[in-house]
């Protein structure tokens, strides 16, 4: 059992959980930085979490839903107040009425996560700060301390399986619910390098091609929020052209951008893409959460071989474009 202590202080209005693991700090940190790993332990065993957003930078947010054995759900959020890479982060933690919408009838808390080396491994100290004794007692009464212990108890298996999510493991697609999917890959390069490669037309024409034999015939990049982008491809002989267009909705270089996407010539509602970049061991974790208007369109788009094409493109990005970090 990784937990070494759980303590409640009614004077300081805190709940502190300390856990130690026989792994380097970097590996422990990445378990919180990578939503694919975080959702494998955040929440009690009976209430696993699914993260539809995870922006691990100051001012960023995380949105998650814990789902119980009877299908009951408990949405929550983190709002990142500070991030000290590899050492700690602080969030406002609270309940939601639906993903991304805080439930003002429930208490919000401040949580700090501190990481440090200890002996042959590492330690994470999670401290929750409550606004009042009433809030502390209410949330302890709802089983918050037991939930934290249950969550931390799952981490040994997660840390042992990090190789499945490391650089070189390829592109993964996860269905978050009927209308959300997450496409992820660790790319060998720095965050700045990977961001630049996603926004420089000259570089994009070199790697964002899918299978061999295709060229990017149009690469009009949106540079300001509200701008429209347009990307088109065709085979080397000029046949079978297709493309996508959309609007840049949000951008926080070099960590996050949000765009709409619609296939040129199609009248469907299109897709919303949330791209986030975060440093992890071995490179940069590139995650795109796709929001579809329906399950049918989700299955149709994912069934086109999109992930396979993205993997070919990301491999080309590593091999032909990025300078090793």
The 10s digit of each residue's pLDDT in 251-262 is: 999 999 999 999
Using 50, 70 and 90 to split pLDDT, how confident is the model at 323? low
pLDDT per residue over 45-91, tens digit each?
888 899 999 999 999 999 999 999 998 999 999 999 999 999 999 99
Task: Please report, in angstroms and rounded to a whole number, the separation of the first and last CA atoms in the chain.
Answer: 36
Cis peptide before 254 (omega within 30 of 0): yes
pLDDT in tens, 77-135: 999 999 999 999 999 999 999 888 999 999 899 999 999 999 889 999 999 999 999 98
Q: How confident is the model at residue 269 (pLDDT cuts 50, 70, 90)?
A: confident
Per-residue confidence (pLDDT) for residue 151, from 0 to 100: 82
Examine the pLDDT at 324 and tell me if it is beyond 80.
Answer: no
Reported confidence tier of residue 207, pLDDT bands at 50, 70, 90: very high
Residue-averaged pLDDT of the chain = 92
Domain boundaries in the chain? 3-165, 172-321
Question: Has residue 164 got a pLDDT over 80?
Answer: no
Determine the pLDDT at residue 144: 82
Query: pTM here?
Result: 0.89
Instruction: Output the pLDDT for position 149.
Output: 82
pLDDT at 246: 96
The answer to whether residue 325 scores a pLDDT higher than 50 is no
Which of 134, 133, 87, 94 has its CA nearest to residue 111?
94
Instruction: Provide the pLDDT for residue 268.
Output: 74
Same topology, domains 3-165 and 172-321? Answer is yes
Count the Cβ atoms, other than its own, within 10 Å of residue 58. 13
* Spatial separation of the C-alpha atoms in residues 231 and 77, rounded to whole Å: 34
What proportion of the chain, given as a percentage, has pLDDT over 70?
Answer: 98
What is the Cα–Cα distance from 218 to 259, expressed in whole angstroms? 18
Question: What percent of the chain has pLDDT above 90?
Answer: 73
CB 282 within 8 A of CB 167: yes
Q: Is the CA virtual torsion 168, 201, 289, 87 positive or negative?
A: positive
Choose which CATH entry (3.50.50.60, 1.10.600.10, 3.30.530.20, 3.30.450.20) describes domain 3-165.
3.30.530.20
Cβ-Cβ contacts under 8 Å for 200 (sequence gap 6 or more): 221
Q: Does 1 score more than 60 pLDDT?
A: no
CATH among 3.30.530.20, 3.40.309.10, 3.40.1190.20, 3.30.9.10 for 172-321: 3.30.530.20
For 273-293, the pLDDT digits (tens) are 999 999 999 999 999 999 999
Secondary structure class of 13 (helix, strand, coil): coil
């Amino acid at each position: 059992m990784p937990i070494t202590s759980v303590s409640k202080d009614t004077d300081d209005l805190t709940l502190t959980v300390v856990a130690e693991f026989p792994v380097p700090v970097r590996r422990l940190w990445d378990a919180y930085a990578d939503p694919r790993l975080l959702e494998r332990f955040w929440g009690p065993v009976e209430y696993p979490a699914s993260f539809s957003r995870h922006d691990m930078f100051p001012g960023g947010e995380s949105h998650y839903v814990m789902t119980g054995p009877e299908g009951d759900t408990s949405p929550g959020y983190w709002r990142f107040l500070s991030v000290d890479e590899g050492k700690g982060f602080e969030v406002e933690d609270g309940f939601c009425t639906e993903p991304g919408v805080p439930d003002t009838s429930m208490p919000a808390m401040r949580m700090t996560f501190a990481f440090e080396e200890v002996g042959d491994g590492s330690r994470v100290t999670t401290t929750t700060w409550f606004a009042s004794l009433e809030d502390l007692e209410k949330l302890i009464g709802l089983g918050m301390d037991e939930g934290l212990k249950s969550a931390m108890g799952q981490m040994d298996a997660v840390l042992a399986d990090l190789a499945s999510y490391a650089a070189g493991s390829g592109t993964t697609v996860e269905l978050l619910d009927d209308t959300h999917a997450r496409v992820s890959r660790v790319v060998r390069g720095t965050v700045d390098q990977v961001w630049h490669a996603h926004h420089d037309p000259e570089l994009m024409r070199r790697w964002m091609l899918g299978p061999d034999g295709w060229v990017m015939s149009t690469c009009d990049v949106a540079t300001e929020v509200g701008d429209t982008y347009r990307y088109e491809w065709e085979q080397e002989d000029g046949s079978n052209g297709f493309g996508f267009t959309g609007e840049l909705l949000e951008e926080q270089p070099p960590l996050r951008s949000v765009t709409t996407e619609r296939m040129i010539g199609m009248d469907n509602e299109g897709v919303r893409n949330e791209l986030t970049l975060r440093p992890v061991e071995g490179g940069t974790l590139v995650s795109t959460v796709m929001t579809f208007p329906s399950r049918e369109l989700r299955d149709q788009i994912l069934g086109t071989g999109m992930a396979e094409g993205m993997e070919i493109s990301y491999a080309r990005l590593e091999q032909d474009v990025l300078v090793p970090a």
